[in-house]
Amino acid sequence: MKFYVNARYLIVPIMSIITILGVLIGGAYAWVGVALFGINTVIDTLTKDIHLRADFDSQGESYGIKTFQYGIMYFMLPVFIALQIALAYRIFQFTAATPVQIDLFYGIAYQSGISGINLIGAVLSSGLWAGLGIIYGHELSHNKKEGFLVSRLVMALSGASHFTYAHVYNHHLDLGHEDDPATAPRGRNMYAHAWLSHMGQSRYSYNLEEGRLKKQGKSTLNVDNRWILGYLYSLPSLVLFVWAGGLIGIAALFAVWVIANFLLEALNFMGHYGLIRTHGLPVEHRHSWDNDSVFTSWFFIEIGRQCDHHVRGETYFWELDDVKGPNYGIGYFSLFVIALIPALFRRYVEKHLANWDEKYATDDELAIAAKFS
Amino acid sequence: MFKIFKPSPTSYQVKLAGSNTEFSVQRGDSLLNSALSAGVQWPFKCKVGSCGTCKCQLLEGKINPQLDFSYVLDGSEIQQGYILACQTMLKSDLLVSLDLDK
């Protein structure tokens, strides 16, 4: 049981490494990250009706091994760095016009040089899998000390280091309020949310630092400013890509960051769309949507158990459980595809919101909801 | 034999000043969660160190803060020894002051 509970969360580490190998082997394999994303969407959709509970022994103790799970999460930082280096290597080859030919590396065939079309595949693959760094960045943002720093560094690889502070001090505190940029109000589409939530969280993070430094009598323009520091953490990526490919390198890194941040905000969008909390009332299970079908649970290391997470924010992901809160009943991959088409998402979510209004909302929350209808 | 190999205690005791309330905190558990497990009506909201509801004043003992308290507590509170119970791990037995009427 212990092996099963701990090994099931290894899907992303394994697939991330396969994606890196795909970029390094080159040719059509550069698209492997995109292909895996597609395959995962199919698996997630086929298994949407399987929902499992968290596993505990007869004493109520979790089977999750903290040292192992933390080891994996920390290990993912060099994995995501390796993914960027692999992409930078391909960009370097492309801009240096390295001839596209089959070579051998210790007996393993790979394609030296890369065509434009396969470089696009490598960029898309890298963006999609860099974006999945959010699941570790998020978990570690709640888990202290060096874990917090690792979270900042993982997010910095996607130019989103501000997330770590904004998530803890803004999103968890202001969930369901209009002043939480990460909560999407009714009627907003995922594309608009990606921009508004990203900018809103970054602004919040800046204001948070400004306030903290002011209290200490320090200037905002200071290396102690963790908002500035967060963006400085992203500087090595920028330097690497400028060195590897000049303007093409910058364009590639920008594409990776846009895709990665879009995925991050897509998770925020799906986790709280249209849900409302009256100011001053405690956060309850009903203020989040669960997406906990089996593949989503294992792949996204239980980030879809939002209802439980927002009430017990200190709880390790492997201990989060189904708390019978609002639930879309499908996984993130399936819902993401629906949300990509705003009109389709609005139709899909209508019945879920109607159910929330009827079953979960208070009168005050319904009054706020009416403003958005 | 050597102090470096001396195992650290598996639990610490916490006493609330001005009351008979006392409870133990297992190594690796937070002050807040241990208090709640022991049945203490400790005020809390977010449990992630962002709301400040669980703050208390540390009178004696050593702690290991898990997050920077300065985002939630102001300078004078920090100087007076206020801490966030949800983000506090223990390094020794503690004596803390908590306003249970909040």
State the pLDDT at residue A60: 85
- Please check whether residue A224 lies inside any domain of the structure: no
Nearest CA in chain A to B76: A215
Q: What is the pLDDT of residues B18-69, one digit of tens each?
A: 999 999 999 888 999 999 999 999 999 888 899 999 999 999 999 999 888 9
B66 → closest Cβ in A145, A165, A312: A145
Look at B48 and A314 and tell me if their CB atoms are within 8 Å.
Answer: yes
Question: Band of the pLDDT at B2, cuts 50, 70, 90?
Answer: low
Indicate the number of domains in chain A. 1
Look at A168 and B49 and tell me if their CB atoms are within 8 Å.
Answer: yes
Is the torsion defined by CA of A162, A285, A299, A36 positive or negative?
negative
B11-97 is classed in which CATH architecture?
Roll (3.10)
Helix axes A226-233, A190-215, angle to 10 degrees: 130
Q: Are B37 and B65 in contact (CB under 8 A)?
A: no
- Please check whether residue A225 lies inside any domain of the structure: no
Give the distance from residue B75's alpha carbon to the nearest chain A alpha carbon, in angstroms: 7
Question: Band of the pLDDT at B5, cuts 50, 70, 90?
Answer: low
Rounded Cα gap, residues A329 and A357, in angstroms = 17
CB proximity list for B2: less than 8 A, separation 6 or greater? none
Q: Which two tokens stand for residue A80?
A: 């995501």
Q: What is the pLDDT of residues A36-59, one digit of tens each?
A: 999 999 999 999 999 999 989 888
Helices (H), B18-93: 31-37, 75-79
Q: Which two tokens stand for residue B25?
A: 């905190």
Q: Are A142 and A116 in contact (CB under 8 A)?
A: no
Question: Band of the pLDDT at B6, cuts 50, 70, 90?
Answer: low
Reading phi first (left if > 0) and then psi (alpha if -120 to 50, else beta), residue A139 is in alpha
State the pLDDT at residue A205: 96
Rounded Cα gap, residues B26 and A315, in angstroms = 16
Q: Which residue has the tokens 């430094």?
A: A213
**What string of DSSP letters covers A347-359?**
HHHHHHHHHHHHH
- Please check whether residue A215 lies inside any domain of the structure: no
- Domain span at residue A316? 2-209+236-372
State the pLDDT at residue A280: 78
Torsion of CA A306, A325, A333, A51, to 10 degrees: 110
Helix axes A66-95, A116-131, angle to 10 degrees: 160
Residue from A146, A287, A131, A268 nearest A201 by CA: A268
Q: What is the pLDDT of residues A125-159, one digit of tens each?
A: 999 999 999 999 999 998 767 899 999 999 999 99
State the pLDDT at residue A143: 73
State the pLDDT at residue A146: 82
- Please check whether residue A230 lies inside any domain of the structure: no
State the pLDDT at residue A59: 84
- Please check whether residue A221 lies inside any domain of the structure: no
Q: Are A135 and A303 in contact (CB under 8 A)?
A: yes
Look at B75 and A145 and tell me if their CB atoms are within 8 Å.
Answer: no
State the pLDDT at residue A360: 96
Look at B48 and A313 and tell me if their CB atoms are within 8 Å.
Answer: yes
- pLDDT < 70 regions, chain A: 144, 373
Nearest CA in chain B to A210: B71
What residue segments make up the domains of chain B, in order of their start?
11-97
* Per-residue CA distances from A1 to A65, A102, A293, B39 (Å): 11, 45, 20, 32
Look at A148 and B47 and tell me if their CB atoms are within 8 Å.
Answer: no
State the pLDDT at residue B4: 59
